[in-house]
Chain A
Amino acid sequence: MSGIFATLKRICSERDGRLGLAFTCLILMFALVGPLVSPDPNAIDIKARFAAPGLAHLLGTDNLGRDLLARTSVGTRYALTLAVIIVVISSIIGSLIGIIAGIVGSWIDRAVAAVFDIVNAFPPLILAFALIALYGNGSATFVLLVTVVFIPQFGRMARARAKTLRNLSFIEAERMLAVHPITIVVRHYLPNVAGPIIVLASMNLPVVIAFEASLSFLGFGVQPPKSSLGTLIKDGFISINQSWWPTVAAALVLAIATLGATLLGEALRRVIDPKSTRAR
């Protein structure tokens, strides 16, 4: 616990870290509290369509008179939930595959590296279209597809770290004591791989949020009547001549969410892995 507080303190000691933490807290509050204090996000009120931001609707309404504050906060909650689930699953699977490949070496390592390279060779959106064509739309498909896209990133980092650790004296000393290989992985590899993986995970969060918004914008992600930041931007974009606020509201939330997560991820990287800080 003291480690978490110490890390937070160090993040807060720099401007970018404070800004990232503030933006992230703001977005989290918006996603958590927004749906509780705003009306039903799917309630249609034709009489109030394209209502400008005001006291009745803080962020205005869309083309069906639905409250944009409610829809944006629900979309944010959805984007954050998906991003956290995807990053957690892909980091765990990727780390385990990478560590095992790095430790075992030989043809297994080469095969894993080749699979990672093949997955990375596909542009994520093209891979997404292919998987959606195979399995259809939906949250489960989205989680599966983005997890597959992100596993190699975590896997490559864990593999490289495991290969370095494998030849370090303390790992060799454990092997010489005949400590069980699983114990060595859990007790000595994982804690030493965890730092860079946490940093990578925090830096991938905004990428997943933006990726989900992109797919939804293109009509391959969340389907109506559910709301997501991507569909909100798309719907607002169609009717931008009548009202600018639906697009701006969703885009602003997306920008703050990705900017906050990026700044926080960068600050976390500087705290956990100070050696990788580039010269300013």
Chain B
Amino acid sequence: MTDAISISNAELRFGETAALDGVSLTIPQGTCFGIVGESGSGKTTLMRAVLGLQKLDQGEICVLGNPLVPGRAALKQRASFIQPIFQDPAASLSPRSRISTMMNEVGTVLREPHAALFERLGVILNRLGLPQSVIEKYPHEISGGQARRVAIARALLMKPSILIADEPTAGLDVSVQGDLLNLLQDIRQSDNITLVIISHNLAIVRLIAENAVVMRSGKVVEGGEVGSLFKSPREAYTCELLAAWPSVTRAPALNR
């Protein structure tokens, strides 16, 4: 089976800084794949490169076997394969457009009749636990959690095979984080979507992903099946990341 995403020797520099330094990895179809690393490790840059938003200096990226090429026809094809959920979903919704207008744009791209599109949207909104009335609102009229779900709804409306979520739980409280991860897992399993989770939060990747890679300074330092990766890491950096995991300990007794 063709890989969902294959990246070979991706290199990208911003001046003196190597944002991506010879990154090679493959993500099989239908799996949940995690990319972890500290801030500035190149996770988001890699996602932007996969989406075609950032040109590489060197290397090749294929999405479902199709290399990234410029041009509108290629972009349209890519949009039907792969959709992102941005780190700040509220910022990914046009501030001066109603949500219905943004959803309509998907219909125009897919050349889908209005009624059929909104029937499908209704089902998706239901599944995401959003009221139907949300589509008549502007992005500033909804909460952060709702904005994240609206962004997911818009991505799902495109019927993608691959969903890339950049820090999907950032800014959410713990209970909402759990709900959202369950939701993404449900969607992945029912729609047979390849889910790529980019996060600095190891717990999330451990919870949801099957395979993962650890990135540092634009390089993939270690990768493999999540259980063994986090249980017996080979690289010192992975150990450091795991050790940096915050834990609750009993405070020393105060002398009165």
Chain B, 91-113, CB within 8 A of any chain A CB = 91-97, 101, 105-106, 108-109
From residue A172, how far is it (CB to closest CB) to chain B in Å?
A: 6
Is A279 close to B, CB under 8 A?
Answer: no
How close is A180's CB to chain B, nearest CB, in angstroms? Answer: 8
Complex interface: chain A residues within 8 A of B83 (CB): 176-177
Interchain CB contact under 8 A, B79 and A178: yes
Residues in A neighbouring B94, C-beta threshold 8 A: 170, 174, 187-188
Q: How far is the CB of B39 from chain A (nearest CB, A)?
A: 17
Q: Which residues of A contact B84 (CB under 8 A)?
A: 173, 176
Complex Cα gap A172–B52 (Å): 10
B154 in the interface, Cβ–Cβ < 8 Å? Answer: yes
Cβ of B76 within 8 Å of any chain A Cβ, yes or no, is yes
- Given the known interface contacts A183-B105, A183-B108, A188-B97, the answer about A175 and B92 at a Cβ–Cβ threshold of 8 Å is no
Contact yes or no, B76 A191, CB < 8 A:
no
Residue B75 lies at the interface, judged by CB distance under 8 Å to chain A? yes
Are B76 and A175 in contact, CB atoms less than 8 angstroms apart? no
CB-based contact B95/A170 at 8 Å: yes
Q: How large is the interface on B (under 10, 10 to 19, 20 to 34, 35 or more residues)?
A: 20 to 34
Q: Is the interface of A mostly helix, strand, loop or mixed?
A: helix
Question: Does chain A have a CB within 8 A of B153?
Answer: no
Is B53 interfacial (CB 8 A cutoff)? yes
Answer whether residue A168 sits at the interface, using C-beta atoms and an 8 A cutoff.
yes
A179/B105 in contact, CB under 8 A:
yes
For chain B residues 106-159, which have a beta carbon within 8 Å of chain A? Answer: 106, 108-109, 151, 154, 158
5 CB contacts below 8 A, A to B, read A176-B53, A177-B154, A178-B72, A178-B78, A178-B109
**B interface with A by C-beta (< 8 Å):** 51, 53, 72, 75-76, 78-80, 83-84, 86-88, 91-97, 101, 105-106, 108-109, 151, 154, 158
